[in-house]
Amino acid sequence: MVFRDPTPIEDASRALALDIARVLVRARELPVALPAFGLTLLTVQADRRALELVVGVSAPAAALRFEQAKDLTSLGDAPGSAPVRASVRALHPATAARYQRQTEVMVERVRASLTPSRWGEAWALGRRLAELPVGVPLGFYRQLVAGVEPPEALVRTGFLCNQDCGICWQDRAWGRYDSAQVLRWIEDLHAAGARALILSGGEPTLDPALERYVRHARALGYGQVTLETNAILCARDGRAEALRDAGLTAAFVSLHAARAEVSDAITRAPGTHARTVRGVKALLSSGVPVKLNAVMTQEGLAELSALPDFVAAEFGAWRERLLGLMFSYPTQPWDPKLQRLISPDPTLLRAELRRAIDRALALGLAPHGLDGPCGPQLCAFGADPRVASLRPIPEPVDVRRKLPACDACAVRHACFGVRDADVALYGDACVAPVVSSASG
């Protein structure tokens, strides 16, 4: 399919870096030699706290770092009065140590030359640079969902989030595109044949244009527009109603555990479990149907079977709008050090997931997603026909594969396989071949 993608973001990044260098040090080009110091100003980079001038001989050695200092007050517009804290950050320790005197002189000279107005101009440019999604594949922002028929569109509005889930595969430093680009992608995916749209993130409710995206999608002819969210901001007065009025047809809300302390540990955001519960209730009471999604991490696996009872108790008053409970398998986390905490032990998973399925069905909560590309391998729940269609998969998913032991499995044709990261941790224990497709 054809996407109307933006101009390569690297071009915009280079242009903004040069603009910042012009403001801070009057540079006319990048890179630019600094013969008085024996160094070269290579580029400019920015994060949400600071601007950095990257210097080195031929490769980055150190960053002259300038941070906005909220506790300093400006004295008019005189040089040196800008609210800035200056420091040197080593990028290549050995080279940075060799040029320590030069970089310390440089960073102080730049700081002393800055007026508040020049700093304000550079800071505004830096905010724009920090938000650019440099190096992030465009496929992370817009795609037809793999392994799903009929075609379903997915658009991510950006990667900022008000939680910090260890299970997340995203880096919170990834930027976003503007609302005009998001709208173009929604149009492109509709032109490609998608009639169901998922708006995701990061956390999409942080985007002030979210209701506009929903309205535009419905006007184009998307019959379904689903919001993937933690629902924290949906608890605010009027937000759920605004989404409903824009045409939102469903919300897909992350809720990983019944107990707040377990959920907040998984999301690494204390206090947000309670806010998510309030947000779910606001969506349901406003008329927006909700499907809940529990990611089955090692951290919360022992309490997975308690979740259906919690859901029934908290949200049972809106049973007709509760679309069910999805059990998702975790992807590879952005921080690989968390992999062992994230990937569920396959033996424990097979026991706990079956108990959770039985409890959900007993309460009339339809379990979803177990046989899809976001679910576990089918043998994790014995390919239970109550919750698995056992239809052949539409296409393989490149992050999952079959093990040799899978050749003897009766449901191999319907399974997306196991994740490489789990095989690295647990080996052949990841699979327990199903003898009969009627198992359950």
pLDDT of residue 191: 96
Walk me through the domains of the chain, giving residue ranges and CATH numbers. Answer: 9-131 (no CATH), 138-368 (3.20.20.70), 383-440 (no CATH)
Answer whether 435's CB lies under 8 Å from 406's CB.
no
Q: In the predicted model, is pLDDT for residue 440 greater than 50? A: no
At which residue do the structure tokens 């998969």 appear? 393
Q: What is the pLDDT of residue 65?
A: 97
The pair of structure tokens assigned to 212 is: 């506009």
pLDDT, tens digit (0-9, with 9 covering 90-100), for 335-394: 888 998 899 999 999 999 999 999 999 999 989 999 988 899 999 999 999 999 999 998
Number of H helices, E strands in the chain: 13, 15
Q: Does the model's pTM come out above 0.85?
A: no
**Phi, psi (degrees; rounded to nearest 5) at 335:** -95, 105
pLDDT digits (tens, 9 = 90+) for 113-160: 999 999 999 999 999 998 888 888 999 999 998 767 889 999 999 999
Element at 225 (helix H, strand E):
strand 224-229
Tokens of residue 24, six digits:
């801070």
Kind and range of the H or E run holding 290? strand 290-295
Residue 208 confidence (pLDDT) above 90? yes
What are the pLDDT digits (tens) for 210-237?
999 999 999 999 999 999 999 999 999 9
Residues 48-56 have a mean pLDDT of 95
H or E element at residue 122: helix 116-131
pLDDT score for 75: 55
Where does the pLDDT of residue 50 fall: very low under 50, low under 70, confident under 90, or very high at 90 and above?
Answer: very high
Question: Is beta strand 322-328 parallel, antiparallel or unpaired with respect to 290-295?
Answer: parallel
Please give the share of the chain, as a percent, with pLDDT higher than 70.
98
Given a cut of 80, is residue 60 above it in pLDDT?
Answer: yes
Coil, strand, or helix at residue 33? strand
Summarised one tens digit per residue, pLDDT across range 91-111 is 999 999 999 999 999 999 999
What 3-state DSSP class applies to 277?
A: helix
pLDDT at 89: 96
> Given this model, what pLDDT does residue 378 score?
97
The Cα–Cα gap between 25 and 375 comes to: 53
Residue 439 has a pLDDT of 47
Cα–Cα distance between 284 and 291 in angstroms, integer?
10
Query: What is the rounded distance in angstroms from the CA atom of residue 182 to the CA atom of residue 394?
Result: 28
pLDDT tens digits, residue range 294-349?
999 999 999 999 999 999 999 999 999 999 999 999 988 988 889 988 999 999 99
Can you tell me the distance from the alpha carbon of 272 to that of 257, in angstroms, rounded to the nearest whole number? 12
**Cα 361–chain centre separation:** 31
From residue 315, alpha-carbon distances to 102, 131, 281 in Å are 63, 37, 7
The pLDDT value given to residue 1:
82
Q: Across the beta sheet with 50-56, what order do the strands follow? A: 32-34, 39-46, 50-56, 60-68, 84-90
Q: In angstroms, how far is CA 433 from the centroid of its own chain?
A: 33
